[in-house]
A and B are shown apart, each in its own frame.
Chain A
Amino acid sequence: MNIVNILEEIEKVDGEIYERLNPRRAAMKEFFNMGKKITLAAMPLALGSVFQKAYGQSTPAAVTDVLNFALALEYLEYHFYNHALVAAPTLTIPAGAATAAITLIRDHENAHVNLLKGALGAAARPEITYAMTDFTAGGTFADVYSNYGTFLAVAQGFEDTGVRAYKGQAGVLAGNAVLTTALQIHSVEARHASHIRQMRTALAGGAAIYKPWVSLGAAGQANDSGVPQVDAVYAGEDLTTQAGVNITGINGNAGVTKAVAVESFDEPLDKASVVVIANLFLKTGFKL
């Protein structure tokens, strides 16, 4: 993507584009220079905000809805980790690697909140505060902030849900520059999920194994987390047909078992199903 070219194209039909963007051409030059430094990553949103300033345009309503939905989930994730780190005296996250990992994840969720808020501008949904949340899910996970194992199990649920939720909205964002940003968040959530699963395996000390990827459950069920209370998070993860192609044993590859077919493709989750899961962790009056 070449921003300068895009701007030049616009200039052909709107000679005052540079003035609209910023009265000082020098400032635009600075923007171009900055553009070279920031990765392609940040471009769509950076560009989006520039255009928004220029024309006062808002993003399409469907896209705004997706971003606000994502923002709500990121608020939830952020508060879940942040509370664990700063305000849960009965929860012992081991010092060192474990605390560092949870801190990194918390910081990413916070960055996602800020990124989405910035992209949405005035269209951003109201903030979700910690006081509006209930990470015990009405008592289902009563010891989430006193039992490290429960905390990690719920964390895995959040991350795997996040991966599915972003994937579920990809179609709405198809062809839109915002899609790229959403994908960049999506893969980071998957990295988090992979690590949390490894943390759970380490904690189990050989008693249980949670693969870094979503596999089949021990009894062949879709939920491989060992926590039946989060079945909804994994509903449909055991799909083995992709875009009409049957993956199990594909083209004579016997090594591609049903479990491999399940592991090699992560499944999306539709918005309504994600909302049901998210609402478990929101107090009455603040549900999505």
Chain B
Amino acid sequence: MESLNENQDVLQKESNILDAKLERRSFLQYAGAGAAIVALTAAGCKKDRVVNTDFGVTLDFKDDFGVLNYAYALEQLEAAFYIQVAAAPPSGFSAAEKQYFQDIQFHEIAHREFFKNALGTAAIGNLSVDFSSINFTDRSSVLNAAMAFEDLGVGAYNGAGVRLKNTTYLLAAGKIVSVEARHAAYVRDLISNGTFATAPQVTASNGLDMALTPDVVLGAAGKYIKTKINVINL
């Protein structure tokens, strides 16, 4: 781990230079803590750094790949969150809740891996997450984070669908978003029974769920993601 940390320090300095370059290109930037943290795949033994996200990742919305990578990024985030919850659930979780959060964990892993395989070589790298704002030992903190992720996911898919040109991928996104909505309703009911589809998430007057644009979604997700996400051609 020490060498890993050293590598990250070096890379942080490097990334500052890169940041400046990216700004001049007028990329829209969504950064978590501002530093581009690197996913080191070969954890800390080789002197060769395996770097795949030191530039951050770029979501290019010019075509379907950008939209799919956007979904892939969100699924990476959700999967990472639920993996952590399922590995050590809050003591306040009931047996049923532990079971369902484990189920959800595997749903999100399935979604993440689906996008990874569907994208193939066009897939973005692994994102580094920052869950420092979540208290994983506290039921309420975990549930509220889960609700935020699920509602955000629903809004993201609802808003992104119209961007997809390939109907196979549109359908795949549709198959996923309703599962996210089922998760969202479940988590909301755990927080307060009966809030599965209440305002402001669902507008009472027209019965519509949120549809969010990528900039809004990534802005909200930013605090959970260390990797810089550049968005172009939005």
Contact = CB atoms under 8 A, between A and B. Distances in A.
> Do A and B interact with each other, yes or no?
yes
Interface of A: 1, 39-42, 97, 100-101, 104-105, 107-112, 114-115, 163, 166-167, 170-171, 174-177, 179-181, 183-195, 198, 211-213, 242-245, 247, 250-251, 253, 255-257, 260-261, 263-268
B158 A265 contact: no
Interface stretch (B31-39, B42-50, B52-60, B191-199): B191-199
Given A112-B206, A186-B177, A266-B175, 6 more contacts: A183-B211, A187-B181, A188-B197, A188-B208, A191-B185, A198-B186
A188 B179 contact: no
A185 B176 CA distance: 15
Contacts of B113: 247, 250-251, 253, 256
Contacts of B174: 166-167, 170, 183, 186, 266, 268
A163 B128 CA distance: 34
6 contacts: A109-B207, A180-B158, A186-B174, A213-B179, A245-B117, A266-B182
A65 B95 CA distance: 46
A187 B161 contact: no
B118 to A, nearest CB: 6
B226 interface: no
A41 B206 contact: yes
B178 A190 contact: yes
Given A42-B208, A186-B177, A195 B110 contact: no
Interface of B: 100, 103, 105-111, 113-114, 116-118, 154, 157-159, 161-162, 164-165, 167-172, 174-186, 189, 193-194, 196-198, 202-213
Nearest to A251: B113
B208 A181 contact: yes
A243 B198 contact: no
Nearest to B193: A97
A244 B105 CA distance: 22
A195 B117 contact: no
A72 B196 CA distance: 24
A184 B109 CA distance: 24
A177 B194 CA distance: 31
Contacts of B197: 104-105, 108, 188, 191-192, 195
Nearest to A260: B106
Given A180-B159, A245-B118, A108 B202 contact: yes
Interface of A is mostly: helix
Q: Which of B100, B204, B206 has the largest number of chain A CB atoms within 10 A?
A: B206
Contacts of B196: 101, 191-192, 194-195
Contact of A194 (B176, B186, B198, B207): B186
Contact of A40 (B100, B182, B213): B213
Contact of A180 (B105, B117, B167, B211): B211
A167 B112 CA distance: 21
A110 B207 CA distance: 8
Given A187-B178, A190-B185, A255-B109, A42 B203 contact: yes
Given A101-B194, A108-B202, A264-B111, A183 B171 contact: no
Nearest to B212: A40
B213 A263 contact: no
A152 to B, nearest CB: 15
A22 to B, nearest CB: 22
Q: Which of A100, A177, A179, A183 has the largest number of chain B CB atoms within 10 A?
A: A183
Nearest to B190: A198
A108 B168 CA distance: 29
A265 B176 contact: yes
Nearest to A183: B158
Given A167-B171, A180-B162, A261-B110, A212 B205 contact: no
B105 to A, nearest CB: 8
A263 B179 contact: yes
Contact of A263 (B103, B116, B202, B211): B103
A193 B180 CA distance: 12
Given A195-B189, A242-B172, A245-B114, A163 B203 contact: no
A189 B206 CA distance: 13
Contacts of A243: 114, 118, 168-169, 171-172
